[in-house]
Structure 1
Amino acid sequence: MRGRLRRYGSTFLVAALSGAFGTILVQGVGVLADLIAGDDIGERTSVQVALALVSVVFFGIAIFVGGLVTSNTVSTVIAGQTRELALFRLIGSSAARLRVQIAVDGLVVGFLGAITGFVLGAALTAASVAVGIATDGIPDLDYVLISPALGAPVVAVALVTWLAAWVGSRRVLDVTPVQAAAASVEPSRDETRARPLRNGVAFALIGVGVLLLVAGIVLGVISMLGVLVGMLGGILSFTGIVLAAPVFMPPILGLVGRMLGRRPTARIAAANAVRNPARSARTTIGLVIGITLVTMFAVAAQNYFDVIERSREQYPADYGDSDRILLLTIGVFAVLFGFSALIAAVGMVNNLSLSVMQRRRELGLLRALGFTKAQVRAMILAESVQMTVAAVGFGLVLGIVYGWAGSQALLGSILGGGFALPGVPWLVLAASAVAAAGLATGASLVPARRATRISPVEALAVE
């Protein structure tokens, strides 16, 4: 068990965050419903239905992103263990058996993480309610914090982690026993493009997802149920984007890399993105996921506040007591933003660190060819810069689109809602981009410094 947690530490952390996120959402639905509706049973019921709908959407997004991060992490781990897995194949273990073992590890780690998150989330909610009552921030009502519904986040997170580990372990099927005596080799650009089934499924998911996203926006003008259609469209389209990342991310990275100049370190960094499309996509898409998630929640929150303010101006009688709702939702969005930023940071830092550490043999070869430690670190920095610029730009676009579409599908049918252009909190997004750049640089340079401390001979002997 200790070995599992060491190997899949980031998976455990993501599962714990997702479990805590789901627990807080389930408990928060009841608390917010009681606060908003007061003693009116009929109003409380309608408020609970609306909040439950929103919590399902937010939790669905959280475990979807957690699953993507886990799948990407498992793929990265397996990519660095090709020779070890090949040795198991050489002594008689089948690829299916190895893959089942990885999936079982994912289930165990996911369940432990979900239980940890449940305890953490329940404690945070109970403490927040107690502090709110003690400081007269909220009324002293009979809040029900423990219910059978709390089992849903634990089960969902464990199953999604298991599924993500199974999906991420598909690379095991490509490992052959003969690779036990050779260095692990990433698929080339031509091999990546010559996957008609995978690429076809990816672009089909993008197409269907975009259509459902548009349908959700249109349906959202009539009913809040449009957000469910929009959420499905967002999940399908973003899944397609992740699957197709090895096709379209390397050219974007290469374009950004060419802007870094003609120094040898910059030229090698730019060429690496195209030469190793699978590795480039795995590393960069983790950053894209993080930026998209944070941007989506920031834009959704901004559009929510804009709609409420506009509706209060148009219908003051119906929105006269909206200040309390705004304060409560500010707290909810702050929690959403915080958890999404944590999940994104964990996935991004882990994948970037693993990617660099697993390239010690490649870095040793560069040292043997005459590169100094400073030049190797400069190359890693150039790669980090091009990944950050490409991923931040792409993630901002996706996040703005998804955040606006989600808020439009959810709020288009309320009084004073209707169709509105997206509101973008540029200051928040700029701060997020700067934070992402700092994390990406640190996550790349710290392991690069450790990797370059060993001699070229030792690095070439590492696999």
Structure 2
Amino acid sequence: MPRVASSGSLAWLRERGMGASILVAALSSAFGVVLISATGFIGAMLRADPYIGDSGTLAFVLSFMTTLLVGVAVYVAAIVTANTFSTVVAGRTRSIALLRLIGASARSQRREVARQGLVVGIIGALVGLVAGTLLSAAGVAVLTAVLGLDGVSYPVVQGALLLPAAIVALTTWTAAWAGSRRVLTVTPLQALGGSVEASRETIARRSGRHVAALALFVAGGALLALGILAGLYTPLGVLVAFIGGILSFTGLALGATLVMPPVLRLVGRCFGSSATARLAAENALRYPERSSRMAIGVVMGVTLVTMFAVALETVKAVLTVSAGGELPSEMSTVIDSFAAIMMGLVAVSAVIAAVGLVNLLTLGVVQRRRELGLLRALGLSNRQVRRVVLLEAAHITIAALVTGLVLGVAYGWAGAQSLLGSVPIDPEAPSVMNFVAPAVPIWPVVIVVGATALLTLVATVVPTRLATRVAPVEALAE
């Protein structure tokens, strides 16, 4: 059982979940550093060009894309970190309750968890800062030599690189504070129990949170629709749609305990009626908060990749309509090249979400040792217990995959339509309304589905081993 360490000790860093949280922070910080360096280097290359060196539009586009991608990575990392600390707190229920029993206050325990989040954020941010700076320096040196850019000078080490590291550290701290709100509800009587997750009945009584989630989702959806309509007249519609997308997805993440259980129930019916399949389906539904925390990370990863793939394909469709039915081959090549670069950058956020899934699955199995031990004591074999864990993970990832694909198509189409709905391919031509249906590229979707299936298998390797490593008697004695 995890112990709540004292303020002067760093022994809690060895707890399961903390290493993955540091990795998430490091990935986010390094991603921000590399993006800022890449943008700065490209800007230096452009300034050295006598024809486009003074282009303010290119500088704006580069800075906007950098801000957008760093913001997306930090947003994903914040949700993953908040979910991780929520799961860690659920596993510490008994320890926290014991401290409450001897006089500690709930707020002091929450401050301790938040302090741990700050330490995790600082460590991860510094690791990412160093790794990102070294990677950027190596990249600049290689590109300068390969492309023969002797006249381009760009200092990699600069104060601006501290910004993403600082943002990641503060975001991790805030996410830990948000994820630790469960501490306030732990009672001294729970010292007799173990890991405690909120049940369906408890979730149903959280009317305030559900109303806030619904309000954010509805408001975001309305702004998305408004952005699409505004995009038929001005490219600035994309700003309205962007805000709408952030609000609607935040509402979805906040209300995941309402959205995911129905999807999980539908997926559960596809796995048959065997004992292990029914157990897996019930485990995914019994504690919707735990299942939703695991699912929302996959939803984010799938949504992001699908969104950018659909957005770029829809851009081609909009420009094709604007060009009169045929897109120039040069422009098509440029868009495809840009799409490949963007998908590579967005994949970093998907990796962050994947780390969160693996971490939460492992934590979930560790914190359910008594439950799994009871199943083995009742006669289930090691193979059946492993199958239950695998099927439960499959339930969650398939439900998240379907949800992410739907959201990704909607967001991607809304982004492209709101940005280019009024832009003619010929700058001298009059503005027109280009309204097209969503364009869904087949291969990126196939890759997303295949990667999600592979992630499910990889993510369950450690949990399924942990599920059968402890003897039933030992697990039940905890």
TM-score (norm 1): 0.90
Partner of 2:4: none
* Unmatched 5+ stretches in structure 1: none
Mapped contact 1:114–1:158 kept (Cα < 8 A):
yes
Is 1:186 aligned with 2:194?
Answer: no
Deviation at 1:298, TM superposition (A): 2.8
Partner of 1:31: 41
Deviation at 1:322, TM superposition (A): 5.3
Partner of 1:356: 365
Partner of 1:216: 227
Residue in structure 1 matching 2:124, options 102, 110, 113: 113
Q: Distance in 2 between matches of 1:311 and 1:121?
A: 40
Q: Distance in 2 between matches of 1:76 and 1:83?
A: 13
Q: Distance in 1 between matches of 2:344 and 2:148?
A: 18
Q: Distance in 2 between matches of 1:315 and 1:187?
A: 56
Partner of 1:86: 97
The one-letter amino acid of 1:19's match is S
Q: Distance in 2 between matches of 1:307 and 1:26?
A: 30
The one-letter amino acid of 2:64's match is L
Of residues 336-345 and 306-315 in structure 1, the stretch that sits farther from structure 2 once superposed is 306-315
Kindly provide the CA deviation profile for residues 352-373 of structure 1, in whole angstroms up to 9, marking residues without a partner as x: 1211221111011111112121
Deviation at 1:91, TM superposition (A): 2.0
Partner of 1:392: 401
Change (3 A) 1:350 1:236: same
Mapped contact 2:93–2:195 kept (Cα < 8 A):
yes
Is 1:406 aligned with 2:415?
Answer: yes
* Unmatched 5+ stretches in structure 2: 1-8, 426-432
Deviation at 1:456, TM superposition (A): 1.0
Partner of 2:454: 438
Is 1:450 aligned with 2:450?
Answer: no
Is 1:459 aligned with 2:475?
Answer: yes
Partner of 2:71: 60
Q: Distance in 1 between matches of 2:13 and 2:316?
A: 41
Is 1:332 aligned with 2:375?
Answer: no
Deviation at 1:34, TM superposition (A): 4.3
Mapped contact 1:186–1:278 kept (Cα < 8 A):
yes
Q: Distance in 2 between matches of 1:221 and 1:148?
A: 41
Residue in structure 2 matching 1:167, options 158, 178, 181: 178
Partner of 2:276: 265
Residue in structure 1 matching 2:248, options 211, 220, 237: 237
Of residues 422-431 and 134-143 in structure 1, the stretch that sits farther from structure 2 once superposed is 134-143
**Number of equivalenced pairs:** 460
Of residues 307-316 and 283-292 in structure 1, the stretch that sits farther from structure 2 once superposed is 307-316
Partner of 1:200: 211
Change (3 A) 1:413 1:158: farther
Partner of 2:144: 133
The one-letter amino acid of 2:14's match is R
Partner of 1:158: 169
Mapped contact 2:252–2:259 kept (Cα < 8 A):
no
Considering only aligned residues, what root-mean-square deviation do their CA atoms show, in Å?
A: 2.8
Partner of 2:86: 75
Residue in structure 1 matching 2:352, options 339, 343, 365: 343
Deviation at 1:139, TM superposition (A): 7.3
Mapped contact 2:199–2:288 kept (Cα < 8 A):
yes
Change (3 A) 1:304 1:88: farther
Kindly provide the CA deviation profile for residues 30-82 of structure 1, in whole angstroms up to 9, marking residues without a partner as x: 33334456235774322111221222222221111111111111111111221
Q: Distance in 2 between matches of 1:24 and 1:296?
A: 22
